[in-house]
Structures are given as structure tokens and as C-alpha cells.
Structure 1
């Protein structure tokens, strides 16, 4: 039920660091999950605050409002849908406030490497919380950074007080996994463990992840430059200030509807653009369409 041991071990190194003392001391309980990472994590908790899709994943009965020991779902990097990540200084302040209030952080890390192009840098938020002595939960996915959408490969981990507690928590994770899938499919896990377990393949993967991240960053610049060249009366600095696969454009639902009807450009009605779908071949057309539906304000 725990899934591929090699895949889990390599995945934990990505999140917590190659030479993490937590891993050496066996303080991290982890389980390979093929889907439902965040949902399974929610089953270990009680109350939460969630954006968008997470509202349908974390479902808890109504209860009294809390000011202490609240479990928060945080995006480790490349926040979806806004693309706005806290700075390192802000993460440290957030971590401090969690300490003061006694809150618990559950990190959703679906885009590690796809934000800055560096998986280590993208895990900085988690490392800051660990430096401050937090016990955290973390859901990792390879759907984006390895393109394994069809295999739904991921890992759910929980940092514990000691090895004994980690053994107990892992047992609970396996009990949660039992009714969900019993035994996870192995194909995607073998791909991940093969790549991360081989230094040469891992190096190649890191180069390719950086290449994809750099391409997305480049498309953000191109989109903004095209809009500015068209004489858009609106400010578009936020396009290049944001990071990751998605851009929160600021367009209204009505403007998005016009993009769909008049230009056959599709995105969610909250104005979120999938930057991974923007290319050198279509960025000009996209910019022109956005300009046409937004130029009147």
C-alpha cells in the first residue's frame, strides 16, 4: 500500500533536501499515492481554508471557528491560480506567525521546478518552515514536472516528532490508502525512481525542467511586451511579476467570454491563463485579442 520504496525515498529528497537530517533520523512518514494526495492529507486533519478546487477536495463538517491550531493549505511555489508567491522574507514572517498561533502547514507542491526552474529554490518555503521547527504535511506530484498526468504519481508525507511517531503516522496513511486504491499502479513510480535514482538521468531531467520553466517565463515577457506595443491603456506588469504555469490576468468574466466567442481563445472565467499553452506562434494573436476586449476598460 505504501508504493515503490525507491520512488518515495527519491521524492522525499526533492522536498526535504538530499542531506536532510529529518530523513536520516527517519522522522518523515510517507506514502506513495496515485491520486487524492490532498484529500488523503485532509483526512488527517480537521479544519481548513482552501482556494478553488481544494474546496471540493477538503470536505469537513461545519464546526466552531478557531484562532489556534488551524490547518492551512499552502502552495509551496507557483501559486495556482494567482501566480503570486510570497518572497523569502514573507515566508519567514508567515512561518513566524504560524509559530505564534500554533497553526499547522500542509503544503501542496504540484509545480516544483516549474516555477523558477530550480527544484531546490522552489522548495524554499518548506525548508523555511522546517528550519523554524514546524511539523508539516506535504503533497508532491509529478503530473507537471515529469508530465505524468496519466499515471497520477505522487507522494504524501508528514514530518513527525521522532521515528516512533513517524511509524505510527505511516500506518495511518496506509489505512487511508487501503480503501482508496489498495495497491498503487507501479508504471509511473518506476519512471520517477529510474530518473531520480540515476545521476545522469536526473541531471538531464533538471535541465529539461529548467528549459520548460524558462520558456514559460519567456512567454510572460513576450505577452506583456506585445500588449504594451499595441498601446494597451492597462498596466500589465503583473504578468511578468507572477510565476509558474498560470497567469491571473485580471480580465473579467465578460471579457473572457468575448475571447472565447470572438477569438476562440479558452480559459477559465476568472481570467486565469495557462502560460504553458502560450507559444512564439500564438502569443501575438493572444495579445491582440486581449487588447481588443480590454482596451475600453
Structure 2
């Protein structure tokens, strides 16, 4: 019996050691090589800031200036409540002491400057498509914004979701750190749209169904599903009959600019601030996004819950 318990103890220790090794941020999400970057393009950073809707999550709630990125917005989820952090240039409470590499690592790999995993409520699963040059531009723009004092509240997560190291296991299962690669068989416009929709725009993060561990189900990508924040249902944006099959490319681009649909309705909920952000892009970029969205194959999403009578 003693030998049995000893053997069992050894297996447990080996399992814990393996878990510790394979969930190490440097193992599961190694940092990209950024090399020597050219001087940042702040205007491009401003465009990417709008495309990514950074202010929608990181602007301090309850104030009108959406460029004061003090964080604090509560993001409810099935795993607990996350709070968007302060990403203003404040040197103590924000990211004012970060270097470019710190920012690139956070956005592309979901790893903090202190070497901890970020929870994927922060959509680095999409931002990893952005090249280091684009991320450096975005960082340069954020550094021009007001410094906001005050730390955001910590995440409110029950056990076992409060074990941050376990995010390494999630990354092993679901995180693909491959950057965006243009499709040489597609047009320049299509590739620009694919990059904006899938990368900085991170549209799939809301417009996709998720599994029990909170990862996007690849077969229903862009096909809609329950709102990740539990506020209803996010629509299908593929070319399915229940999606955007009857919308033209121009109608999609117009909705992204004005919020008006072909039926003369207007989008609301969490899509309203998305439109305010995407409206800051050029007409050419919105048309490129529409070009890519019109190319999405028809995928049936999960059924919408029945409304109570």
C-alpha cells in the first residue's frame, strides 16, 4: 500500500511539473521577433485604434471623453466578471512604463510584461494577426492620449477560473499564434478586408458561437451566437439566409458607416459603438471589409432562443 501511494504521488508530481512547464507563457505563446522597426506611424495607429474599438472597452465608464483610457468597464461572462484595465500612458496605473516589445507581446501572445498570461476576454486571439509594425503604430498613438490615474478593479472570477496559469492550458488547446498572411489568389481589396475584419476589428469574437471553455467553435465562425456578455444574441454575418445573404457589398459598407440596414432600421446594442468606430475608417477600408464579409461561406448558426410569450 505504501508503494502504491508513493507511485501515485510521483505521478501527481510529474503531472504538476508537466502542467507547469507546458503552460509557461514562453512555451505556449512565444514572443514574436520584432527586429528593428521603422519610426511609428501615429496616424496609422489612430486608424487601428478606431478599427479595434479600443475605447469601447478601455474608456473609463461614466465620462464623455472616450480617449481617457482608465479602464474599469465590467465585462460579465459565464466564467465571472472581467474588468478592462487602464491602458492610458499613466506610468503607475496604465501602460506608460511599457516598451514597444511589451505591447507587442501583450497583443500578439496574450502575455504581460511580468510574464503572466492574459485571459482571452482580451481578444489577443484576433490581434495576433497584426504585424509588429502595426502594433507599434497603435502603441505610439495610445501614448499620445491623456494619462489617467487610477487602477481598474481586478477580475472577479471563481475557482478554478481564477488560476491564471491555467490559461496556458487553454492556449495549448485553442490559441493559434500565426500572424496574418495575405492570400495571393485574392484581390488586394479582399486581403485588406480580411485583415481588418479578422485582426484589429476582431469581428469573430462576438459573431461566433463558443464552446464550454469559451473558445470560438471553428465550424460556426461568423455565424452568430449568444452574446459573450449575456445580453441577447449576436447575428449571423455569413452568406447564410439567416445572415447577410440578401445584403449587397455596398449595403454592408453603408451599415458600417451609418448604422442603417437595408430595411431602414438601425443597429443598436454593442454594435452601435462598433459603427461609431468603424465610421472613422476610410470608405475604401469599409468597402474592403464588406468585400471580405460577402465572401464568407454560408454557415448555419446556433438557433436563437425562443422569446417568452
TM over 0.5: no
Under a length normalisation based on structure 1, what TM-score does the superposition of the two structures give? 0.28
Bigger strand share = 1
Bigger helix share = 1
Structure scoring higher RCO (CA < 8 A, sep ≥ 6) equals 1
